[in-house]
Amino acid sequence: GEESSHPAEETASTKQTIVNKAKQHVRRLLPEVTRNNVPYLQQSSGTPIYHALSELKGW
């Protein structure tokens, strides 16, 4: 039944754990990153952040 004898399931749950930890880490960092970057983003001729990000994705 619930034994972890299937490596694929084990890997999936490990990946999920890593993803969850990464999300928590990002959530902790995001306010600081945003706070540090807001003045810089605001001085860039008022370009909406989402517009700048969508241009960056095109690189």
Phi, psi of 17 (to 5 degrees): -60, -45
CB atoms within 10 A of CB 49: 13
Q: Is the dihedral of CA 35, 39, 44, 47 positive or negative?
A: positive
**What's the CA gap between 55 and 8, in Å, rounded?**
37
Mean pLDDT, contiguous 10-residue spans, the chain (59 residues): 60 84 77 66 60 70
User: Is 0.75 surpassed by the pTM of this model?
Assistant: no
Position 16: which residue type?
Answer: Q
**What's the CA gap between 24 and 45, in Å, rounded?**
32
